[in-house]
Structure 1
Amino acid sequence: MAKSNDARRNFIKSLGVLGAGMATGCISNHTTEKPYMPSRTPGAKYMGGFSAPPLNMVRCAFIGVGARGITHVRQLAEIEGVEVVAISDLYEDLVKVAEKECRENNSGRHQNIALFHGDHELWRKMLEEVKPDAVFISTPWRWHAPMAIAAMEAGAHAFLEVPLATTVEDIWKIIDTSEKTQKHCMMMENCNYGREELLFLNMCNQGVIGDILHGEAAYIHELRWQMEHENRGTGSWRTYKYAHRNGNLYPTHGLGPVSQYMNLVRTEDNFSRLVSFSSPAIGRKKYAEVNFDENHKWNKLEYKGGDINTSIIKTVLGKTILVQWDETSPRPYSRLNMIQGTKGILAGFPTRVSLEHGVEGITNDHHQWVQGDNLLAIYEKYEHPLYKRLGSLAAKRGGHGGMDFIMRFRIIECLRNGEPLDQNLYEGGFWSAVAPLSEASVSEGGTPQDFPDFTRGDWKKTERLKIIT
């Protein structure tokens, strides 16, 4: 009997220890240990607010000129102060199309374009031989980190399609290389330059909605049709990502703007931790069964990535951000784009504004939305100066409603003037880190994951993003 009582007491004691661990969050290493933060390399410098020496002419090279990359070539070739000096892609036909785009824009600046195609490693030869000032990278995600690192080590500024990288380890490698070489590395989040996003940024900076409490961001975009890209194109490689990885794999389009509304990674607040959950993985498997032969490679995949992922981010100051991702479900496009303050709310899709005491001449209080034609008064009062300057030209040039052109124009403008970029190295790192951190949280049943501090504490020194005129 004594032995039985001892066993019972030990069992109850073990439950107490387990309960205490659950209460304090000590079950997961992610909550008891701070994420790995390597020391800054001797001689390396923090890149927040970094300004590179001005370039009168920006000699641009491109790696990857398929669906997204060709649009970078087309618009950048039109911008004053750009010379296209090199184009690299696996496929000769894509390189030839990009070259033709440059020669047909009548600027006279793109006469000696070096062309590289047919090999996975020729982009390295391009960097060595051409020595461009800036490299624009639009390739499958796994190539982002090695290409950006090599570009900076070759003396070029690197500009990447989203995400910056797919692992925390690679984000650190990019950051260390940028700090060591003193070269920009910007993840090109085009959604930060949308008219609605610029409007909300201006209103937040002016304190129109008071103290900011909460944001909601998303990338909800049904893209199952990309699975038709069986051997070449976006779906030929992304389909494997969506099948094998389970988390929020594409967070930055919604999160980038909301992060800048909140002034994160700058001055007073930053990302702290994240929890994440995914729905069952059903939609792509059913889509494959209906649209492809039963022996097709898409029907032989084991689909593990949930159709919908919902993550919640907590900031250092306790603000919250809901981040959703869904490229599978049949539903209208949305990035949510919501920001809540103590004096009102700004929301997107469709664009809506509600302020505590109403909007003069339109609403009397916060129980009604200002939307549709009534938004003209809001735009007249709070239109972002950058959009006032470039909006008409951007609308003519196109690219997701003009946001692409404004982003590209600003990159070149900053490089030519020797000004800090609108999106710094560390912002791209934090926004991209949501993907691997959400995967870890999902795999551990929603356990909180701490964000590494990619700035090594220096985010407090970085000024608020200025209102660009």
Structure 2
Amino acid sequence: MGNNNFDRRNFLKLSTTALGSLALGGGLILPQQTFAQKEAANKPIRLGFIGVGGRGSYHLDCALGMEGVEVPVVCDINTSRLERAGAWVKESGRPKPKLYSGNTDYLKVCSDHKLDAVICSTPWDIHAPICLAAMRHDKHAVCEVPIVLTVDEAWEIVETYEKTGKWATIGLEGFGEPAVLNMIRKGVLGDIIHAETGYIHDLRRVKFDPEEEPWRLQHAVDRNGNLYPDHPMNKMLPALDINHGDRIDFLVSMSSKSVMINEYAAKMYGPDSKYAKMPIKLGDYNATLIRTVNGKMMTLNHDTHTPHPRESYRVQGTKGVYLGDKDSKRIYIEGLSPQHDQWEPADKYLKEYEHPMTKNYNPPPRKGGATRGHGGSTNQTPIVWHRLVMALRENKMPDWDVYDSVTSSAISPITEASVAGKCRPVDFPDFTRGKWKERTPLTFV
């Protein structure tokens, strides 16, 4: 492997007690709880929201549908979105929050208000600065992905957490496919040796839409690699026990040529428009091969420029393989599947091995009706929000802890280094500093 400068410096489980002591259907406290547990279950949680566009407004509405969550402050440079957020908070029966709209007002949110955590849903380039500001002012931070854009930012978040005890994580990222992870934990697929998925999502329209996320286009102009690893990694990192018995050793990344953004712009704005002629660094397709210390492998793909359906997820073990996408889920298990070397529907396995976390989650309807914003409409509190608030009440980190969060996002700049170096192998930093050897596999109990 080539020399590089990424090794320059040599999950906490959520409490099963709390899960067992809450009747999730109605939130009733069972008699065996201690006084401290009862106090924690009723503790108000104060959240500040920084960024309330499509995704941020979804998170805000999730929080407003929960009992005991207070929203004293909201920040966004878009004043119309900011006023909308303030109105939503007031409509929920809470006091109207303090509103901030300046480019650096996130610093006031972090320094001037007593909060349990800030929820960051801004453009990518200020994710790490917001998280660090929160941590340095005695607050936790929950960030949309990616949490970092550089390896230095990743180390800074780790070191700030270890110094202050305040964490910053991608704690609302989710769990991938919990039933598949449960099958892996039960040994159904044997020892996992390879997983493959990616962020395969046609975002050409979004990159040119001023009401969506036009800032994404600039990343495609300036950068070349796998720019969005976290959504696929929420499946692959737990499946391969990354940072929990194994870790990423090195990766190799390659990008195709870039033509699709210019072609799209020529059709939309004319062949002589600046976008049709603008140089685009990001290859239309990026494929990254990741190797772990224990010899396992991941294939991570990225394509936001070509016309296609969404990605699939494939995980291969010594006993069998699972392959799933939005419309079809298949499995093959040697010695169990009815036909040799032939797929069978995975439905019965997914039902049999439904994860206890999702199987037992049946909250009452949320306050305020179905959720609004970019994240899906539901009349129930999303389980990731339930688990985040519970973690804050218990003074614990969410399902994705600091080390897993920065590992997931740091894949992106390291792929950029590999692509820039003609696809050379690049060593991956050990953000746990050796703790991965003792950390138990993620189960999301």
Match of 1:116 among 100, 120, 128: 100
**3-state SS of the aligned residue for 2:195?**
strand
Superposed displacement of residue 366, structure 1:
4.6
Partner residue of 2:60? Answer: 73
Paired residues for 1:14-413 under 5 Å: 25=1, 28-30=2-4, 35-37=7-9, 49=12, 56-105=43-92, 108=93, 110-117=94-101, 119-188=102-171, 190-192=173-175, 194=176, 197-230=177-210, 233-235=212-214, 237-266=215-244, 268-294=245-271, 296-334=273-311, 336-349=312-325, 350-359=328-337, 363-371=338-346, 375=347, 377-390=348-361, 399-400=375-376, 405-413=382-390
The Cα offsets for residues 368-400 of structure 1, whole Å up to 9 and x where unpaired, read as: 2224xxx1x223311111111236769995634
| Structure whose alpha-carbon radius of gyration is higher | 1
Deviations 1:199-257 (A, max 9, x none): 11111111111111100020100010013324x5412x110101221100001111221
Larger mean Cα displacement after TM superposition, 74-83 or 181-190: 181-190
User: Quick one: distance in 2 between partners of 1:67 and 1:248?
Assistant: 23
Q: After superposition, give the CA deviation of every residue in 1:251-300 in whole Å (9 maximum; x if it has no partner).
A: 1111221110111101x211110000001101001111111145644235
**Structure 1 residues 87 and 405: alpha-carbon distance in aligned structure 2, compared to 1, 3 A threshold:** same
CA contact (8 A) 1:62 1:88 kept: yes
Distance in 1 (alpha carbons) for counterparts of 2:437 and 2:241: 11
Deviation readout 1:321-358 (Å, 9 max, x if unpaired) = 00000001101011x22211111112221222221122
Alpha-carbon distance in 2 for matches of 1:216, 1:186: 24
Compared with structure 1, are the counterparts of its residues 394 and 220 closer, same or farther at alpha carbon in structure 2 (3 Å cutoff)?
farther
SS at structure 2 position matched to 1:163: coil
- How far apart in 1 are the matches of 2:415 and 2:152? 15
Decide whether the 8 Å contact of 1:397 with 1:405 is kept in 2: no
RMSD of equivalent CA atoms: 2.5
Shift of 1:35: 1.7
Q: Identify if the C-alpha distance between structure 1 residues 282 and 34 changes in structure 2 by more than 3 Å, giving closer, same or farther.
A: closer
Partner Cα distance (2:395, 2:110) in 1: 23
Question: Bigger shift: 211-220 or 459-468?
Answer: 459-468
Distance 1:299 1:325 in 2: 22
Q: 1:35 to 1:341 in 2, by over 3 A?
A: same
Instruction: State the SS of the aligned residue for 1:291.
Output: helix
CA contact (8 A) 1:358 1:366 kept: no
CA distance in 2, matches of 1:306, 1:140: 21
Structure 1 or 2: more helix by fraction: 1
Deviations 1:18-46 (A, max 9, x none): xxxxxxx4xx323xx762116xxxxxxxx
C-alpha distance 462-80 of structure 1, shift in aligned 2 (>3 A): farther
Structure 1 residue 92: Cα displacement? 1.4
**Matched residue of 2:289: which SS?**
strand
Larger relative contact order (CA 8 Å, sep ≥ 6): 2
Aligned position for 1:45? none
Tell me if the contact between 1:219 and 1:327 (Cα under 8 Å) persists in the aligned partners. yes
What TM-score, normalized by structure 2, do the two folds share? 0.87
- Alpha-carbon deviation of 1:97? 1.1
SS at match of 1:29: coil
C-alpha separation between the residues in 2 aligned to 1:432 and 1:313? 14
Match of 1:22 in 2: none
Identity of aligned residues (%): 33
2:118–2:141 Cα contact (<8 Å) kept = yes
